Structure 1
């Protein structure tokens, strides 16, 4: 996520890395904020990208997404 403003990284119990961040795109009147979710693949042989989360991991991911959304709404 090289173009992101800030990102958080979490690792699931099955070894998947998940990055949650924000991307600021130039806009006509003001920048457009986007929330970005990236799940890098360590093995390019697999075309399908899926994620299995425990209930605690799902809550952790949800809180990260909500935090990024709140920051995007309040950023200048």
Structure 2
């Protein structure tokens, strides 16, 4: 029997953002906090909130820190 291919869900970008970043993105894009949060949860790269979040994550170095932490787990 063949296993079905499953696609992994997009990473939750909210966990990688610095504190208060969702509010900052919402103000910058003039959209609600809930809309930004939902866009980050879905992780669609075409959404401007996701693009801004990725930029902030790279600038803060959160992605590298999370990668380092996963390397420590057995």
Q: What is the TM-score of this pair, normalised by structure 2?
A: 0.30
Query: Which of the pair has the greater relative contact order for Cα pairs under 8 Å at 6+ separation?
Result: 2
Select the structure that is richer in helix.
Answer: 2
Give the TM-score, by structure 1 length. Answer: 0.30
Looking at secondary structure, tell me which structure has more strand per residue.
Answer: 1
